[in-house]
């Protein structure tokens, strides 16, 4: 009976880990394409092929899609054999993404209304979001005992700070390369790494 209970627990943990692996991959794709397009819209180097409005529209669509997927992943953790505290943790964590990102948008909108514009606005928008994503990953890693997720959170916080120092428009290129690379590495570690690296293990 104990063996069956242990197998059931590990099976539920594997399912949850797989959901968050998909979350990392979705965000990696959204960042690589979204920030890459924003970098191209700036006309940096030899690139000047995408209108600014188109670039921001594509970026917004990708980020909104990733946020929706994050919410679905968190709420769906309530199923697949996960009950009790773990069910509540997954649901609240998923909802925290939507709440945090929406309120971050309101915060930046308030700053913009009070005079934030130009290159500074270009730096603040992604900087705030990436920093908050890092914090969310830190909290997720702590809640679900997922070391790679926790490490990724720390990396993204550092990326947000470093990219901001690079300034506009190079910071877009930093976000489009370093961020997705870190996410994919963590996803690989969670998929094929030691058991202790997986959520709930």
Q: Is pLDDT of 5 > 50?
A: no
Region of residue 198 (left: phi > 0; alpha: psi -120 to 50; beta: else): beta
Q: For position 197, what pLDDT does the model report?
A: 47
Per-residue pLDDT tens digits for 66-115? 878 877 776 665 555 444 456 677 677 778 878 898 899 899 999 999 99
Please give the pLDDT value at position 123. 93
Q: Is the peptide bond before 97 cis (omega within 30 degrees of 0)?
A: no
Residue-level pLDDT at 22: 83
Q: For residue 113, give both structure tokens.
A: 């209304």
pLDDT 10s digits, 159-178 = 999 999 999 989 999 999 99
Global pTM reads 0.77
pLDDT > 70 fraction of the chain, expressed in percent and rounded: 75
Q: Is the pLDDT reported for residue 55 higher than 50?
A: yes
pLDDT over threshold 50, residue 20: yes
Tokens of 130: 């990436």
């Amino acid at each position: 009976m104990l063996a069956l209970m242990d197998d059931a627990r590990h099976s539920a943990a594997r399912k949850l880990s797989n959901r968050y692996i998909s979350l990392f991959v979705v965000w990696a794709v959204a960042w690589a394409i979204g920030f890459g397009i924003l970098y191209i819209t700036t006309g940096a180097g030899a690139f000047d092929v995408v209108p600014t409005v188109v670039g921001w529209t594509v970026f917004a669509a990708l980020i909104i899609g990733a946020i929706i997927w994050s919410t679905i992943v968190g709420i769906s953790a309530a199923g697949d054999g996960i009950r009790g505290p773990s069910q509540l943790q997954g649901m609240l964590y998923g909802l925290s993404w939507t709440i945090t990102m929406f309120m971050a948008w309101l915060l930046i909108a308030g700053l913009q209304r009070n005079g934030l514009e130009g290159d500074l606005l270009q730096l603040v928008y992604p900087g705030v979001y990436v920093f908050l994503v890092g914090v969310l990953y830190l909290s997720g890693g702590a809640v679900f005992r997922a070391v790679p997720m926790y490490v990724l959170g720390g990396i993204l916080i550092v990326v947000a700070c470093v990219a901001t120092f690079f300034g506009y428009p190079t910071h877009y290129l930093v976000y489009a390369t370093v961020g997705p690379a870190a996410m994919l590495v963590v996803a690989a570690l969670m998929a094929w790494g030691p058991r202790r690296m997986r959520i709930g293990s």
